[in-house]
Amino acid sequence: MEEGKAVSQSVQESAAAYRVIQEQFGAAVSAFDANETMPFFEVVATGRWVEIALFMRDHAKLKFNSMACLTGADYPAENKVGIICNFESLALLGHKVAVKLKCDRTGGSLPSLSCLWHTANWHEREVFDLFGITFTGHPDLRRILCPDDWEGHPLLKDYKVQQSYHGIKVPY
Amino acid sequence: MQELDTVGQGSVRVTRKSDKLVILEKDLATEQMVLAMGPQHPSTHGVLKLECLTDGEVITEAIPCLGYLHRCFEKCCENVDYPAIVPYTDRLDYLSGMNSEFAYAMAVEKLLDLEIPRRVEFIRVLVAELNRIASHLVAIGTYGIDLGAFTPFLFCFRDREIILGLLEWASGARMLYNYIWIGGLANDVPTDFSKRVREFVNYFRPKTVELQNLLTGNEIFLKRTYGIGIMPAEVAINYGWSGPMLRGSGVKWDLRRNDPYSIYPELDFNVAVPDGKNSVIGDCLSRHLVRALEMEESLKIIEQCLDKMPSSEGFNSRSAIPKRIRPKAGEVYSRAENPRGELGFYIESDGKSTKPVRCKARSSCFVNLSAMKDLSKGQLIPDLVAIIGSIDIVLGEVDR
Taking an 8 Å cut-off on Cβ atoms, the answer to whether B332 and A37 are in contact is yes
The angle subtended at Cα B273 by Cα B267 and Cα B278, nearest 5°, is 140
Is some CB atom of chain A closer than 8 A to the CB atom of B81? Answer: no
Neighbour count for residue B96 (Cβ, 10 Å): 27
Please give the DSSP secondary-structure letter assigned to residue B6.
Answer: T
Q: What is the pLDDT of residue A91?
A: 81
The model's pLDDT over A12-65, given as tens digits with 9 standing for 90+, comes to 888 888 888 888 888 888 888 888 888 888 888 888 889 899 988 888 888 888
Indicate if B142 and B59 belong to the same structural domain.
Answer: no
Residues of A in contact with B367 (CB under 8 A): 119, 122-123
Indicate if B284 and B353 belong to the same structural domain.
Answer: yes
**B38 pairs with which residues across the strands?**
none
Q: What is the pLDDT of residue B46?
A: 77
Is some CB atom of chain B closer than 8 A to the CB atom of A89? Answer: no
Q: Rounded distance, CA B371 to CA B379, Å?
A: 14
The model's pLDDT over A112-146, given as tens digits with 9 standing for 90+, comes to 988 889 899 999 999 999 998 999 988 988 889 88
Q: Rounded distance, CA B361 to CA B372, Å?
A: 21
Taking an 8 Å cut-off on Cβ atoms, the answer to whether B342 and A144 are in contact is no
How far does the CA of residue B237 sit from the closest CA of chain A (Å)?
6
Of B66, B240, B358, the CB nearest to A67: B240
Of B237, B366, B399, the CB nearest to A90: B237
Q: Rounded distance, CA B293 to CA B287, Å?
A: 10
Is some CB atom of chain A closer than 8 A to the CB atom of B374? Answer: yes
Residues of A in contact with B67 (CB under 8 A): 143-147
Residue B54 CB contacts under 8 Å (≥ 6 apart), including other chains = B32, B33, B34, B35, B60, B381
Q: Which residues 224-253 of chain B have a CB within 8 Å of chain A?
A: 234-235, 237-240, 251-253
Residues of A in contact with B335 (CB under 8 A): 68
What 3-state DSSP class applies to A104? strand
Q: Give the residue from B63, B96, B115 where a domain finishes.
A: B63
Taking an 8 Å cut-off on Cβ atoms, the answer to whether A118 and B235 are in contact is yes
**B54 pairs with which residues across the strands?**
B33, B59
Q: What is the pLDDT of residue A1?
A: 42
Indicate if B219 and B365 belong to the same structural domain.
Answer: yes
Q: Rounded distance, CA B395 to CA B93, Å?
A: 8
Indicate if B232 and B335 belong to the same structural domain.
Answer: yes
Q: What is the pLDDT of residue B165?
A: 92
Indicate if B44 and B83 belong to the same structural domain.
Answer: no
Q: What is the pLDDT of residue B164?
A: 93
Is some CB atom of chain A closer than 8 A to the CB atom of B344? Answer: yes
Q: Rounded distance, CA B81 to CA A80, Å?
A: 25
Q: Give the residue from B33, B63, B93 where a domain finishes.
A: B63
Query: Could you tell me if B132 and B298 are in contact, meaning their C-beta atoms sit under 8 angstroms apart?
Result: yes
Is some CB atom of chain A closer than 8 A to the CB atom of B400? Answer: yes
pTM value surpassing 0.90: no
Q: Which residue of B has its CA nearest to A116?
A: B238
Q: What is the pLDDT of residue A5?
A: 58
Residues of A in contact with B254 (CB under 8 A): none
Q: What is the pLDDT of residue B3?
A: 47
The angle subtended at Cα B80 by Cα B74 and Cα B83, nearest 5°, is 100
Q: Rounded distance, CA B128 to CA A65, Å?
A: 29
Query: Could you tell me if A83 and A94 are in contact, meaning their C-beta atoms sit under 8 angstroms apart?
Result: no
Chain centroid to CA B160 = 16
CATH of the domain at B334: 1.10.645.10
Alpha carbon dihedral A76, A78, A82, A87, in 10-degree steps, equals: -120
Is some CB atom of chain B closer than 8 A to the CB atom of A92? Answer: no
The model's pLDDT over A146-159, given as tens digits with 9 standing for 90+, comes to 888 888 888 888 88
Indicate if B18 and B153 belong to the same structural domain.
Answer: no
Q: Which residues 138-177 of chain B have a CB within 8 Å of chain A?
A: none
User: Is residue A86 within a helix (H) or strand (E), and if so which, with residue range?
Assistant: strand A80-88
Place domain A9-144 in its CATH homologous superfamily. Answer: NADH:ubiquinone oxidoreductase Nqo5 subunit (3.30.460.80)
Taking an 8 Å cut-off on Cβ atoms, the answer to whether A90 and B235 are in contact is no
Q: Is the peptide bond before B382 cis (omega within 30 degrees of 0)?
A: no
Indicate if B20 and B104 belong to the same structural domain.
Answer: no
Is some CB atom of chain A closer than 8 A to the CB atom of B74? Answer: yes
Taking an 8 Å cut-off on Cβ atoms, the answer to whether B360 and A66 are in contact is no
Domain count along chain B: 2
Domain extents in chain A:
9-144
Q: Rounded distance, CA B205 to CA B163, Å?
A: 13
Residue B384's alpha-carbon distances to A112, B26, B376, in angstroms, are: 29, 30, 6
Q: What are the φ and ψ backbone dihedral angles of A15, each rounded to 5 degrees?
A: -65, -40
Q: Rounded distance, CA B336 to CA B129, Å?
A: 12
Taking an 8 Å cut-off on Cβ atoms, the answer to whether A117 and B399 are in contact is no
Indicate if B320 and B190 belong to the same structural domain.
Answer: yes
Indicate if B34 and B123 belong to the same structural domain.
Answer: no
Kindly indicate the confidence band of residue A3, based on its pLDDT and cuts at 50, 70 and 90. Answer: very low
Residues of B in contact with A145 (CB under 8 A): 66-67, 70, 72, 399-400
Indicate if B56 and B176 belong to the same structural domain.
Answer: no
Residues of B in contact with A130 (CB under 8 A): 72, 74
Taking an 8 Å cut-off on Cβ atoms, the answer to whether A118 and B370 are in contact is yes
Q: Give the residue from B63, B89, B105 where a domain finishes.
A: B63
- Domain of B294, in residue numbers: 70-399
Q: Residue B247 is which amino acid?
A: R
Q: Which residue of B has its CA nearest to A130?
A: B72
Q: Along chain B (400 residues), what's the average pLDDT of each consecutive run of 10 residues? A: 48 71 71 82 79 83 88 89 90 90 91 88 92 92 88 90 92 90 88 90 91 85 87 90 90 88 88 84 90 91 90 82 86 90 91 88 90 86 87 87
Is some CB atom of chain A closer than 8 A to the CB atom of B399? Answer: yes
Q: Which residues 54-83 of chain A have a CB within 8 Å of chain B?
A: 65-69, 71, 73-74
Indicate if B32 and B98 belong to the same structural domain.
Answer: no
Query: Could you tell me if B390 and B225 are in contact, meaning their C-beta atoms sit under 8 angstroms apart?
Result: yes
Query: Could you tell me if B238 and A117 are in contact, meaning their C-beta atoms sit under 8 angstroms apart?
Result: yes
Q: Which residue of A has its CA nearest to B345?
A: A69
Indicate if B24 and B86 belong to the same structural domain.
Answer: no
Kindly indicate the confidence band of residue A106, based on its pLDDT and cuts at 50, 70 and 90. Answer: confident
